[in-house]
Amino acid sequence: QVPLKPGRSLMDWIRLTKSGKDLTGLKGRLIEVTEDELSKHNKKEDCWICIRGFVYNVTPYMEYHPGGEDELMKAAGTDGTDLFDQVHRWVNYESMLKECLVGRMAVKPIAAPKALKAFAYVIFFLQQIPEDEIVVYCFYLCLCSRFCKICSVSIMPEVSTVDIFYDWFQTDSLVTIVIYTKQKDMNAELVIVDCQDKRLRGEIIMNDHSYLVEVDLDHAVSEDVAVNIAEKVGKVEIILSKKDNIHWKMLGQPSEGHNTFIKRTDRGLFYRKCQLVSKTEVTHDTKLFCLMLPKGTHLRVPTGQHVYLKQIIAGTEVVKPYTPVLPFLPLDFQEPPCHDGVRIYLMIKIYSHGLFTQALDHLQIGDYIFVSNPEGNFKKSQVQTSEDLVLLAGGTGFTPMVKLLNFALTEVSCLRTVKLIFFNKTEDDILWRNQLEQLALKDERFEVQFILSQPTKDWVGKQGKISSSLLSELVKRSRRDSKVLICICGPAPFTEQGVQYLKDLGYSQEEIHAFTA
Ligand code: FAD
Ligand code: NAP
């Protein structure tokens, strides 16, 4: 993120796109763009970028890009799809840049692959096409396949071969879909099911790939969906209750992505509508939002992962990431941890000029908001092998630490020390201070240290900003060779500087996990 000039916020951009101004310079005409043409538009004052086969004139967007002009220029005059997917595939560019659409990439003839040639020959024999027309057929087929690739990667994703498949069977009252993943450590967090209005979508996460079952069901089912997982053999059952006791001839009409095993980055983000059921104050500017998942949804957000919320603001889809927390910290270890799988809790700071958080704050109880599948690269196994866990949080960078603390203190027996170093501007900004202090009293492994950057003169605790000297004083191994994991999250510069200081202090890359987008 870079500081943007005044008048260059996302809201200002949305206003500009609604102003009726010709942002492409083509007076609303859509054109076919050749690679050669695209490459000519590679300057700040004339910049075109191709994303998934569509070309955008991003010149007017330059000053509004939150990542800065230089970042955008990396893709100037080229196909920026991979770069875009690496940095923020969740940003809904189709909506944000629709007024900048120049057109599609022109299709370039390519050599016919062998399979296509063979296919063309079959057509030739069946249809008695004169032999000299076969070349035309080959070209036509190539064009089709190329076109599909350009239109959308999801039409022809790079399908990996893997031994995963599904089957289904029925009784008078139930329909059971069985997915044989053969993954030994299959668990509830890796299975995401949405079954609403006769549409079933079941996604199984397998590292950076996912397997999808997606059909329009043959008949109606009730809202209750059960998910059973045989963890050791990796068998997943999705059990649906028939609304009427009739025999189904088929499971349903498969969708485009049905029965595919592809990279997760090649699947679009899936959203479901969740209802706001409560909103409670945490501090003067931060609230705990409780969202209810729809009936028929099975979704557990793993520790350390975030979701994306989507709202339509001034007619434009806006998406922002948020990290689910628990309703409270694990103070009572007698009670099982509260992961009911029905509600999602989000601790969100409302910025007075924030586009998304202002809209969020205006939601009424009972209103709906779109919530995506979880994402993130944190792995619980990083904690499971550690003896010392250090959490460095800045402001709402505390949110990933909530589930992490819960997991560490309730499920990781090898941990000897857990320390949260929590940076805030003022005392009033400290999130869940009371709960954290109580937790420290309850569990002797846990220690919390608050550091304020803008304290009042009454503050007797530590003050300052994240720095090498502060970290060398506060981040310590409990024994000389103990295995340590340091997790850090906060404003981007806070995280970047923190990681650098830790490296300078001799901590290795493997000992540091930074939460970023
Ligand atoms: P924006 O409109 O983006 O503005 C935010 C504030 O910054 C405003 O005061 C605005 O005036 C100012 N501002 C905006 N852009 C600039 C600029 N370029 N220069 C100077 N000032 C600027 N937040 C949470 O509260 N809770 C979470 O759990 C959480 N989880 C996150 C997880 C991830 C992975 C990431 C990347 C971020 C997370 N965030 C979280 C932050 C969240 O995604 C939003 O960025 C945040 O809510 C602000 O959104 P907004 O649209 O309201 O604010
Ligand atoms: P904030 O109140 O502005 O700041 C919290 C603390 O961080 C303050 O002590 C502040 O000190 C310090 N800080 C801010 N900018 C700094 C910088 N450039 N260098 C060093 N220290 C700095 O924080 P916030 O408004 O809650 O923002 C939280 C941030 O965390 C957001 O940017 C959000 O996107 C991010 N976040 C990320 C994730 C994730 O998973 N990636 C999850 C949740 C939140 P000063 O007095 O110097 O400002």
Read off the pLDDT of each residue in 341-367 and give the average, rounded to a whole number: 96
The residue contributing the CA closest to ligand 2 atom 25 is 395
What's the 495 CA to ligand 2 centre distance in angstroms?
8
Average pLDDT, the chain: 88
Question: pLDDT band at 154, cuts 50/70/90?
Answer: very low
What's the 432 CA to ligand 1 centre distance in angstroms?
20
Q: Is 297 a domain residue?
A: yes
* 453 close to ligand 2 (CB < 6 Angstrom): yes
* 351 close to ligand 1 (CB < 6 Angstrom): yes
* 7 close to ligand 1 (CB < 6 Angstrom): no
Together in a domain, 365 and 309: yes
Ligand nearest to the CA of 287: 1
Residues 6+ away with beta carbon under 8 Å from 137:
120, 123, 124, 129
Q: Is 138 a domain residue?
A: no
Dump pLDDT digits (tens) for 21-31: 999 989 888 99
Instruction: Identify the CA nearest to 272 among candidates 242, 301, 243, 292.
Output: 292
Quick one: pLDDT at residue 95? 87
The residue contributing the CA closest to ligand 2 atom 4 is 395
* 467 close to ligand 2 (CB < 6 Angstrom): no
Together in a domain, 313 and 345: yes
Ligand nearest to the CA of 358: 1
Q: Is 228 a domain residue?
A: yes
Treating both helix axes as pointing N-terminal to C-terminal, what angle do 134-151 and 114-127 enclose, rounded to 10 degrees? 130
* 354 close to ligand 1 (CB < 6 Angstrom): yes
Mark which of 324, 341, 375 sits at the end of a domain: 375
Write the CATH number for 358: 2.40.30.10
Quick one: pLDDT at residue 216? 97
Q: What phi, psi does 216 have (nearest 5°)?
A: -90, 110
Dump pLDDT digits (tens) for 169-193: 999 999 999 999 988 889 999 999 9
Ligand nearest to the CA of 304: 2
What's the 514 CA to ligand 2 centre distance in angstroms?
13
Dump pLDDT digits (tens) for 26-54: 988 899 999 999 999 999 999 999 998 99
Read off the pLDDT of each residue in 51-67 and give the average, rounded to a whole number: 92
Together in a domain, 351 and 426: no
Together in a domain, 386 and 341: no
Quick one: pLDDT at residue 266? 86
Write the CATH number for 231: 2.60.40.790
Alpha-carbon gap, residue 2 to 69, rounded angstroms:
9
Dump pLDDT digits (tens) for 299-319: 999 999 999 999 999 889 999
Asked whether the predicted pLDDT for residue 479 surpasses 90, the reply is yes
278 neighbors 363 (Cβ within 8 angstroms): no
Together in a domain, 413 and 510: yes
Write the CATH number for 48: 3.10.120.10
What's the 149 CA to ligand 2 centre distance in angstroms?
40
Q: Is 1 a domain residue?
A: no
Together in a domain, 260 and 318: no
Look up residue 97 and give its two tokens: 């840049």
The residue contributing the CA closest to ligand 1 atom 27 is 322
Residue from 351, 404, 465, 488 whose mutation best tests the ligand 2 pocket (most atoms within 8 A of CB): 465
Together in a domain, 280 and 360: yes
* 455 close to ligand 2 (CB < 6 Angstrom): no
* 306 close to ligand 1 (CB < 6 Angstrom): yes
Look up residue 104 and give its two tokens: 């599609």
Q: Is 307 a domain residue?
A: yes
Alpha-carbon gap, residue 448 to 422, rounded angstroms:
7
Interstrand relation of 388-394 and 512-514 (parallel, antiparallel or unpaired): unpaired
Asked whether the predicted pLDDT for residue 144 surpasses 50, the reply is no
329 neighbors 406 (Cβ within 8 angstroms): yes
Together in a domain, 60 and 183: no
Largest CA distance in the chain: 92
Quick one: pLDDT at residue 158? 46
Quick one: pLDDT at residue 487? 98
Write the CATH number for 436: 3.40.50.80
Together in a domain, 384 and 507: yes
Ligand nearest to the CA of 12: 1
Q: Is 116 a domain residue?
A: no
What's the number of domains the chain is made of?
A: 4
Quick one: pLDDT at residue 93? 85
Quick one: pLDDT at residue 138? 46
Alpha-carbon gap, residue 505 to 498, rounded angstroms:
11
Q: Is 16 a domain residue?
A: yes
Together in a domain, 409 and 330: no
Mark which of 309, 341, 375 sits at the end of a domain: 375
What's the 423 CA to ligand 2 centre distance in angstroms?
8
Together in a domain, 176 and 288: no
* 77 close to ligand 2 (CB < 6 Angstrom): no
Quick one: pLDDT at residue 313? 92
What's the 320 CA to ligand 1 centre distance in angstroms?
8
Dump pLDDT digits (tens) for 94-130: 888 999 999 999 976 555 455 455 555 555 454 555 5
The residue contributing the CA closest to ligand 2 atom 14 is 491
What's the 454 CA to ligand 2 centre distance in angstroms?
13
Mark which of 77, 105, 133 sits at the end of a domain: 105
Question: 334: domain range?
Answer: 271-375
What's the 358 CA to ligand 1 centre distance in angstroms?
11
Asked whether the predicted pLDDT for residue 160 surpasses 80, the reply is no
307 neighbors 403 (Cβ within 8 angstroms): no
What's the 393 CA to ligand 2 centre distance in angstroms?
8
Together in a domain, 250 and 283: no
Exposed, middle or buried, 250 (CB in 10 Å: 0-12/13-18/19+)? exposed
Look up residue 438 and give its two tokens: 């109580």
Q: What is the CA radius of gyration of the chain?
A: 26
Ligand nearest to the CA of 396: 2
Residue from 12, 325, 349, 351 whose mutation best tests the ligand 1 pocket (most atoms within 8 A of CB): 351
Q: Is 134 a domain residue?
A: no
Asked whether the predicted pLDDT for residue 148 surpasses 80, the reply is no
* 349 close to ligand 2 (CB < 6 Angstrom): yes
* 478 close to ligand 2 (CB < 6 Angstrom): no
Ligand nearest to the CA of 397: 2
Give the atom of ligand 2 at the shortest distance from the alpha carbon of 395.
Answer: 26
Question: What's this model's pTM, rounded to 2 decimal places?
Answer: 0.85
